[in-house]
Amino acid sequence: MSVTYLEAIREAQARLLREDERVFIYGQDIAGKFGGAFKATKGLAEQFPGRVLNTPISEDAMVGTAIGAAMEGMRPIVEMQFADFSSIALNQILNNAGTHYYRTSVPVPITVRLPSGGTKGSGPFHSQSMEGLYSHYPGLVVVTPATVEDAYTMLIDAVQIDDPVVYCEHKYLYYHLKAEALPDDKLPIGKARIVRPGRDLSIVTYSAMVHEALGVANELSPDGWEVEVVDLRSVKPLDTDTVLASVARTGKLLCVGEAFPWGGVTAEVVARVASEGFHLLDAAPARVNAKDTPIPYHPNLWSEHRPNKSSIAAKARQILAE
């Protein structure tokens, strides 16, 4: 018996619907036998009548509706078909959900699920990683689970949090990642995890890039390099303490993210380490991100556009040599 990352998301939603009558799911093509573009809600509409609802292609109104329902005490989950389309809902997420508690003292507990990140052939509009953009604005919690276990427990936590949560689930991990079973315990949102201890270099990353970083760590190991890999898990709040503690052990930082290179999560991590842990560093902190172009369609281009084992390993070797 094994559970995929996608099944963990479905099981988390099934459990939420079963245990919390305030929960409903709102999104495109998620109801009926169809169960969503990626099947993250398959079977749930039949199991929970009236609580898994199809919407028109209206991302702005989907989120607006969820915000209103949340004000009334519900715990809506909005499924974006692809993270990319949440740009249509930016106004509702950033300006309505993100400001509401600060302005009125009334929190807006919505969870917006963003099927994020690149897969072969998906091109410019079905591949984006938007966690940096959402993290830039106040009033939102932004999580980026990299494991089956986190996909499950962080979605349950996201819905239980009284504030808006942007839940970035990576499409590449949907089927590629499997666990033995659903987890019994969890690490809370806001805590990073050391997924591989090391002494020579800290690779700080999140979401699918955790697995690329682990591959790089394994590749460098025979050469005598012990690379520590830190999975941020949530990018906002960002667990600066765990990152600084890691850099204190290794003296070197490489931050890896799949999003575009200007600003974003990796820049934030480097900025924090440089300003709060400058004395810990034995080399200039570095970043590997996607390239500063739209995400290309052809696999030959796409695989070089995003960070990959070879580009991460090259940068890691460069820092290690310093």
Partner 1 sequence: MLETAERGASSSTKAPPHERYLEAFRWMLTARVLEEKLASLYRGGMIVGGVYLGRGQEAISAACGMFLDKSKGDLFAPLIRDQAGRSAFGEPLLDVVRTYLGSAKGPMRGRDGNIHRGRPREGQLAMISHLGAMISVLVGRLMAKRMRGEKGFVGLTTIGEGGMQTGATHEGMNIAAVEQVPLVVVATNNHYAYSTPNDREFACAALVDRAKAYGYEGATVDGTDLAACLDVIGGAVKRARAGRPPQLVVAEILRLAGHGEHDDASYVAPEIKKESFAQDALQRAEKLILDEGLLGREGLQQMRAQIAAEVDAAVATAQQEDAPHASEEDWSALSTRELADQFA
Query: Residues in the site for partner 1, rule: CB under 8 A?
Result: 24, 50, 55-56, 58-74, 76, 88, 91-92, 95-96, 98-104, 106-107, 138-139, 141, 161-163, 189-190, 236-238, 240, 272, 275-276
Closer of 189 and 312 to partner 1 (Cβ): 189
Catalytic residue among 126, 170, 211, 305: 126
Least distance CB 184 / partner 1 (angstroms): 23
Q: Count CB-CB contacts under 10 A for residue 236.
A: 23
Find out whether 135 and 314 touch, Cβ atoms under 8 Å. no
Closer of 158 and 177 to partner 1 (Cβ): 158
- DSSP secondary structure letters along 85-154: GGGGGHIIIIIIIHHHHHHHS-----EEEEEES--TT--TTS----HHHHHHSTT-EEE---SHHHHHHH
Closer of 67 and 210 to partner 1 (Cβ): 67
Least distance CB 117 / partner 1 (angstroms): 22
Least distance CB 205 / partner 1 (angstroms): 18
| Residue 138 φ then ψ, to 5° | -70, 160
Closer of 108 and 214 to partner 1 (Cβ): 108
Least distance CB 108 / partner 1 (angstroms): 9
Is 126 a residue of the active site? yes
Closer of 148 and 192 to partner 1 (Cβ): 192
Q: Count CB-CB contacts under 10 A for residue 89.
A: 22
Residue 231 vs residues 128, 177, 216, 256, 265: alpha-carbon distances, Å: 20, 16, 14, 10, 12
Residue 79 vs residues 13, 295, 314: alpha-carbon distances, Å: 11, 22, 37
Containing 179, the helix (H) or strand (E) segment is strand 178-179
- Cα gap 166→38, rounded to integer Å: 18
Find out whether 95 and 83 touch, Cβ atoms under 8 Å. no
Which residue from 68, 99, 102, 75 is spatially nearest to 161, judged by alpha carbons?
A: 75
Least distance CB 38 / partner 1 (angstroms): 23
Strands 227-231 and 193-196: antiparallel
> Exposed, middle or buried, 207 (CB in 10 Å: 0-12/13-18/19+)?
buried
**Tokens representing residue 194 in the block:** 């050391």
Closer of 190 and 251 to partner 1 (Cβ): 190
267: helix, coil or strand? Answer: helix
Residues labelled catalytic: 126
